[in-house]
Amino acid sequence: MSASAATPALVALDWGTTSLRAYLLAADGVALDTRASSAGIMKLPAGGFDQAFEETCGAWLDAHANLPVIAAGMVGSAQGWVEAPYVETPANADALVAGIVQVKTARGLAVHVVPGVLERGVLPNVMRGEETQIFGALASEPSLGAAGGALIGLPGTHAKWAFVADERIERFYTFMTGETFSALRDHTILGRTMHPAPTHDEQAFLRGVDTARDAGHPGVLATIFSTRTLGLTGQLSAEQQSDYLSGLLIGHELRGLSEVLARENATLAGKTLRLIGNDALCDHYRAALERFGCHDAATVAHATEQGLYGIAALAGLVAAKRAA
């Protein structure tokens, strides 16, 4: 690494509802340092943005004054530091750059807040933060943004699946899979017969995926009850029930996506797929996707930093990275 590459060039923030992750990036986009904080936007007192920013990034800025700062995520929502109104699908990186809104910190620096993306329609969809990760994936693997397109999955509390083509986010879906799982486990009868499992039970998980995938049942509101009845009939142990329910819900998510594709005469197996997110969760999705015939759904590493860096470069905040 050259000396200039190791010089800090950008402070990049992934600032969501429940956490703040900060990156000190070099001129080549590589992270020199990172900080993780629980100062998500829903956890801050009124006016708490400046203090959380200082606590997380102050030392970097003391050492390297006047670094440009970019941020993505719920920090740009109506409940955030400053509202960066949604840009609409189809959205490319230029549209995101054009939608950046600045907020001045107590220190006098401008934080450049990336807007989220809105898809209008009968079932509107919104994302904040994922758009930046998606462009990070396109930066690290440019063929994903080609005309043929790709399907990028971002598992989590609110899982997103985005159709990208021609360097744009064409459209996307939101599945409340993670949050529904937690609500069912912690606040319905299904949790009462569950015992915590020491490790992920792959067999129980895939049984759930297969049950959701296979035809014959009347939908997720009905299949979830089998978490309990398979226990009552001695076919699922208390330790297996949580992974079975997780597999069921992820299976229903993928089945729903399959049905949408089928209406376009496409299949999950025929698509170029990539995953972005927590490694363990992406592993579970990859195992579930195998049951739908997808064997090449790699996880994109460093999508968040890459996305923040790429948008900052396009906005002229840092010099664009050159090919090695």
Phi-psi region of 219 (alpha: psi -120 to 50; beta: other; left: phi over 0): left
For a second copy, the closer of residues 64 and 217 by Cβ is 217
Structure-block tokens of residue 161: 């699946």
- Say if CB 97 and CB 135 are below 8 A apart: no
d(C-alpha 220, C-alpha 237), whole Å? 21
Closest approach of Cβ 176 to a second copy, in Å? 5
For a second copy, the closer of residues 195 and 217 by Cβ is 217
- Say if CB 198 and CB 240 are below 8 A apart: no
Query: Which has the closest alpha carbon to 243: 192, 287, 199?
Result: 199
Query: Which has the closest alpha carbon to 121: 193, 174, 195, 56?
Result: 174
DSSP state of 155: -
For a second copy, the closer of residues 255 and 321 by Cβ is 255
For a second copy, the closer of residues 106 and 189 by Cβ is 189
Rounded to a whole number of angstroms, the distance between the first and last alpha carbons of the chain is: 11
Q: In sequence order, what E strands does the chain have?
A: 8-15, 20-26, 31-37, 69-72, 87-88, 91-92, 101-104, 110-113, 117-119, 125-127, 150-154, 159-165, 168-175, 273-275, 298-299
For a second copy, the closer of residues 149 and 256 by Cβ is 256
Closest approach of Cβ 147 to a second copy, in Å? 24
Residue in this structure with the two tokens 């089928």, named with its chain if needed = 262
Closest approach of Cβ 212 to a second copy, in Å? 10
Q: In the beta sheet, which residues pair with residue 163?
A: 151, 171
Closest approach of Cβ 244 to a second copy, in Å? 12
Q: Which residues bind a second copy (CB under 8 A)?
A: 118, 120, 122-126, 158, 173-177, 179-180, 182-184, 186-190, 211, 215-226, 229-230, 232-233, 235, 249, 252-253, 255-257, 259-260, 263
Closest approach of Cβ 281 to a second copy, in Å? 16
For a second copy, the closer of residues 4 and 182 by Cβ is 182
Closest approach of Cβ 7 to a second copy, in Å? 41
For a second copy, the closer of residues 46 and 123 by Cβ is 123
Closest approach of Cβ 274 to a second copy, in Å? 19
d(C-alpha 258, C-alpha 253), whole Å? 9
